[in-house]
Structure 1
Amino acid sequence: MSVDVESLLLRLGYAGRIDVSLKVLQDLKTAFLLSVPFENIDVHIPREIKLFDGAAEEKIVQQRRGGFCYECNFLFHQLISQIGFDAAICSAQMMKNDILLPPFEHMVLLVTIEKSVFLVDVGNGESVRIPMNLQRDEIHMTPEGKKYRIGEFEGQFALECCDGNASNWSVKFVVDPTPRRLEDFSDRCHFQQTSPNSVFTTQPMATLALTDGRRTIRGKQFSETKENRQTQEITFEDEQEYYACLRDKFGLVFAAHDQKFWHP
């Protein structure tokens, strides 16, 4: 199923050139990260997130929502594939407390441009903002103050990260380069929405990249960081202020019958 490229680019606020190049891939990734929140609110409405062609486009483009990795990265894959990029959906295993979580815990993209392979991810909250060349030893630093590089874990490529000027690098996730289909992630997507062991079932959250930082709402806590410095922090005690923050800071608007996820 094809995606409506024109509508999606309008959703991203992207009016740049369209061709198969690293520059365009970077610009599209940036536009996505600055426009589409990483969020799990459907889990808490609750509304089941199903993985099928058209679902992510309907939610993110038509409803102007965000999503988590299976939604955001799949939609981005549809966009760049239709433009002409050689892109594959791949499974990644997140690392938590030095334990590698199961396959399909995370979805990433591998994009090949002129024989170079780039890791692309627009669905992992606070994460690397550029396509990372798997064959190059380079470090990328985000406006939030996180550093990222490509490493190796048990013979597979891994995205490694550390804070600011620290040198204690750790694995964020490990990538299996095998091309996958959307439906391969269905079981793990169900787990993320239903299991008490999932990070997504604990509380509603949304996070959105800014050109100079990031804003995040997690539970009743809102924070904004700019140039690696926290500039604002609010604890909401009022339901209307909470939903106004989602609307004004993240562009997330919910009908009255869906506004059930506020917990005083």
Structure 2
Amino acid sequence: MLTPRQYQRYLTRLKMAASHTPSLTRLNALQLAHLHCLPFENLDIALGIAISLERQAILKKLLEKGRGGFCYELNYGFYCLLKTEGFNVTLLQAQVFSDDRFGPNFDHMLLKVALPQGPVIADVGFGDSFLKPLAINTDKQRDNGHHYLLKAAAGRWTLYQDQTPQLRFDETAQPLSAFSQMAHWHQHSPRSHFTQKAICSMATSNGRVTLSDKTLIKTQLGKRSEKPVNSLAQYHELLNSRFSLAIDEALLSRWFNAN
């Protein structure tokens, strides 16, 4: 649960009014607003700043520092927001499909929300994926220009986007502490994609905008464009104007000038 001050700060970031009547309509609106207002970013890893999975550290980063984060931070913050509004929500662990195989357990965090219509998965920390929660059933579902399908086997669900696997998860509720080991691995292992490049990405009304190292990538109505970022000042301004991130330029300079 969030304090009243934390709750109001969260709503301010999402540009939404308060509500304590949990519903699918409200959940849809909250997830969409989260994806449009809080960026998926790993800049702390690039800057050599340790990411803590302690509850208060996550909430301070999201609500006081005005930052985004990677999946563990964004989805845990969203979990706290949903709990505060009265949703029945639990943390789930997932394996991410990459390089033709599934990664380890706790590679990703997502949320299960129990609703009168049936349970759904909510996720505000997976980059370019579904914009609204998906029902946990075997029906085909369409969202954000893609077809999604969940298949069950051996007590786990596999999520497919346009016939390509994305995630594999089970419905066992997990504590935040269970994700700490993989969060540490993602911050320090040279095999983690989070240590290989700096990413800042956010959904827009008609696509997505991403800073991938020193390249600005925009996708609008399915059309992709790329533009190099040639200076630290330009990079700093893009973080502010495109992602509403106020990160000290001097802090960014060591990473920018070294890459």
TM-score, shorter chain, exceeding 0.5: yes
CA positional deviation for 1:228: 1.2
Match of residue 200, structure 2, among 185, 202, 206: 206
Asked if structure 2 preserves the Cα contact closer than 8 Å seen for 1:204 and 1:261, the reply is no
2:130 to 104, 112, 128: 128
- Aligned residue in 2 for 1:188: 182
SS at match of 1:246: helix
SS at match of 2:31: helix
> What is the CA distance between 1:115 and its match in structure 2?
5.8
The equivalent residue for 1:157 is 157
Report the counterpart of residue 247 of structure 2 in structure 1.
254
Pairwise CA distance, 1:17: 4.4
C-alpha distance in 2 between matches for 1:244 and 1:153 = 47
Over the residues paired in the alignment, what is the CA RMSD in angstroms? 1.6
Question: Aligned with 2:89: secondary structure?
Answer: strand
What is the SS of the residue equivalent to 1:207? strand
For residues 202 and 151 of structure 2, the distance between their equivalents in structure 1, rounded to whole angstroms, comes to 26
Task: Classify the secondary structure of the residue corresponding to 2:2.
Answer: coil
C-alpha distance in 1 between matches for 2:250 and 2:57: 21
> What's the offset of the Cα at 1:153?
5.0
1:13 Cα deviation (Å)? Answer: 0.9
Percent of counterpart pairs with the same letter? 29
The reply to whether residue 83 of structure 1 matches residue 85 of structure 2 is: yes
- Residue 54 of structure 2 aligns to a residue whose secondary structure is coil
Q: Which amino acid aligns with 2:82?
A: I
- Where 1:249 maps in the other structure, the secondary structure is helix
**Residue 2 of structure 2 aligns with which residue?**
2
Deviation at 1:237, TM superposition (A): 2.0
3-state DSSP of counterpart to 2:93: strand
Contact 1:89 1:181 in 2 (8 A): yes
SS in 2 for 1:2: coil
**Whole-Å Cα distance in 2 between the matches of residues 98 and 43 of structure 1?**
26
Kindly provide the amino acid, as one letter, of the partner of residue 176 in structure 1: D
Residues 1-264 of structure 1 mapped to structure 2, 5 A cutoff: 2-3=2-3, 4-15=6-17, 17-114=19-116, 116-142=118-144, 145-152=145-152, 154-162=154-162, 169-230=163-224, 232-259=225-252, 260-262=254-256, 263-264=258-259
Poorly superposed stretches of 4+, deviation over 4 Å: none
> d(CA) in 1 for partners of 2:17 and 2:138?
30
SS in 2 for 1:31: helix
* Equivalent AA in structure 2 for residue 188 of structure 1: M
- For the 8 Å contact 2:159–2:165, the answer to whether it is kept is yes
TM value normalised by structure 2: 0.93
Q: Which runs of 5+ in 1 are unaligned?
A: 163-168
**SS of corresponding position for 1:116:** coil
Pairwise CA distance, 1:156 = 1.5
Work out whether residues 39 and 207 of structure 1, in 8 Å CA contact, stay in contact via their aligned partners in 2. yes
Structure 2 Cα separation of the partners of residues 180 and 16 of structure 1: 27
Q: Equivalents in 2 of 1:203, 1:256: separation in Å? A: 18
Aligned pairs, how many? 255
For 1:40-97, what per-residue CA distance to the aligned partner results, in whole angstroms no more than 9, with x for missing partners? 0000111000111111211111111100010000010011011111100010011112
- Structure 1, 19-28 or 151-160: larger mean CA deviation: 151-160
> What CA deviation, in whole Å up to 9, does each residue of 1:90-141 have, x standing for no partner?
1001111221111100001000001611011001111111110012513223
CA distance in 1, matches of 2:58, 2:142: 29
Structure 2 CA distance for aligned equivalents of residues 215 and 99 of structure 1: 27
Q: Does the 8 Å CA contact 2:208/2:219 hold for their aligned counterparts?
A: yes
**How far apart, in 1, do the equivalents of 2:208 and 2:226 lie?**
12
Indicate the structure with greater helix content.
2
